[in-house]
A and B are shown apart, each in its own frame.
Chain A
C-alpha cells in the first residue's frame, strides 16, 4: 500500500511558466515532507522540505505548500527553466519509521 502517492508519472511545462508537482499521503503520522530532484544515473538531491507545523516554505524559485487536512502537498517551480527537467520525488517521514517513504516520482519536462 503506497503511503506517498505521486499520481502524475510525467508533466510537461513550457519554459518560463509555473510547474506544479503534486503529492498525496495517507499516513497521518507523517510530520515532515521533502522533495528530491533526480537526474538520470545520479542519486537524488535534496530540494526543499516542510514541517507539518507549517503550510508553506519558500526557497528561491521553489515553494512547497502543505494542506494537512487534505493530506496533500505540492511543489511549485516558477519560472520553470530547462535545467529543471528531472524526476521529482516526494518523500515523507514520521510514524515511527527512521527512513524516508518515497513516492514513485514525477518526470518533469520543461519545453523551450
Chain B
C-alpha cells in the first residue's frame, strides 16, 4: 500500500535537546511538506521541498531544520532554538504540479518534558 508514514506517533523532548521527526513516503512524489498544528489553529507551513537536495522555508521555519537527501524521506529536526515546540506535526507530499492534492501522514505529537 502506498502512503506516508510518520514516526514516532508521540515524541518527548527535554529542554535544550534536538529531536528529529521522521517522514517517509512511497508514493513517488517529488514534493514534500512539513506543517505544524497548534490547538485551535490551522496548519502552518514550516518547510517544503520540491525536489531532492532542495528545500525552502515556509511561514514558521525558525527553530527547525530539514534535509532532503532521498526522494522518499524528509526528516524534520526541532532544534533547541524552537522555544515552543509542543504541537502536532504533519508531513505531506504531492506530485509535482499537483500540489493541491497533498497527501498527509498521520502526524507526530511532540511534547516537552
Contacts and interface: CB of A to CB of B under 8 A. Distances in A.
Do A and B associate with each other? yes
A100 B102 contact: yes
A51 to B, nearest CB: 9
B104 interface: yes
Given A46-B102, A49-B100, A98-B50, A104 B107 contact: no
Interface stretch (B36-44, B67-75, B77-85): B36-44
Contacts of B76: none
A43 B90 contact: yes
Given A43-B4, A44-B90, A99 B106 contact: no
Instruction: Among A46, A100, A101, find the residue whose CB has the most chain B CB atoms closer than 10 A.
Output: A100
A93 B100 contact: yes
Contacts of A41: 106-107
B43 A89 contact: yes
Contacts of B43: 44, 89, 91, 100, 102
Nearest to B6: A43
Nearest to A51: B100
Contacts of B56: 98
A102 B44 contact: yes
Contacts of B44: 102
B92 A104 contact: no
Given A44-B90, A91-B43, 10 more contacts: A32-B100, A36-B104, A41-B107, A43-B104, A43-B107, A99-B33, A100-B99, A101-B45, A102-B35, A104-B41
Interface of A: 2, 4, 6, 9, 32, 34, 36, 41-46, 49, 89, 91, 93, 97-105
